[in-house]
Amino acid sequence: MERVSRRNLLAAGSGAAVASALVGATTASAQVRPTRPPGQPLLERIERYALAFNFPGFDTLRQPPGPNQAPTGPAYFAGSLWEDGGVGPDGTPASGAKQVGTYRSFAWVFVPGTVPQFAAVHSLDFFGRGQLIASGVTDSSVAVTGGTGDFQGARGEIRMATIGASALTLEIDLIAPSIGR
């Protein structure tokens, strides 16, 4: 048997490692699949719901500047979650619509008015599925910051579109947790 020096062995081994890394990198770049830890469900999905506001359930610490306007300062908003298309512009449920959960928001209103601007923490409780938490400065979207049940470890975004004065469409765009979180 021929003797091989350590230097030649290391040189041959490092050349093979570089070659396998290059071949592996091109193979990996051709495969576009999300990676996730074994045993975790894939949460990447978009779900749509209708949010009907419960105006009698709203509460604020300060008086509003005018009728149908939100005052500045701390506020509590409430509502009910329905299947997509389940409510009309006035927030009234359509015939046969199914309520899927409840909505609560704890906010600080910094621009009063009929369409107030506020920073808030939103809680969406889905019957039998768990709770989804989102927070941010409400404009047309807020970040999903976590959840329980089916939504455990979820991250993503909730986008909002106006149906009418008393209702919104919520588009919930969830992504699965990445490895290392």
pLDDT tens digit string along 95-110?
999 999 999 999 998 8
Residue 104 CA to residue 51 CA, distance in Å, equals 11
Is the confidence at residue 134, as pLDDT, over 50?
A: yes
The predicted pLDDT at position 34 comes to 45
Is the confidence at residue 51, as pLDDT, over 90?
A: yes
The predicted pLDDT at position 38 comes to 46
Residue 169 CA to residue 166 CA, distance in Å, equals 11
Residue 41 CA to residue 27 CA, distance in Å, equals 25
The predicted pLDDT at position 78 comes to 93
For the chain, the average pLDDT equals 76
* Run of H or E residues at 158: strand 155-164
pLDDT band at 44 (very low <50, low <70, confident <90, very high): low
pLDDT band at 111 (very low <50, low <70, confident <90, very high): confident
The predicted pLDDT at position 112 comes to 74
Is the confidence at residue 180, as pLDDT, over 60?
A: no
The CA-atom distances, in angstroms, between 159 and each of 41, 104, 138, 149, 162 are 23, 16, 10, 21, 10
pLDDT band at 174 (very low <50, low <70, confident <90, very high): confident
Identify the three-state secondary structure at position 81: strand
Is the confidence at residue 36, as pLDDT, over 70?
A: no
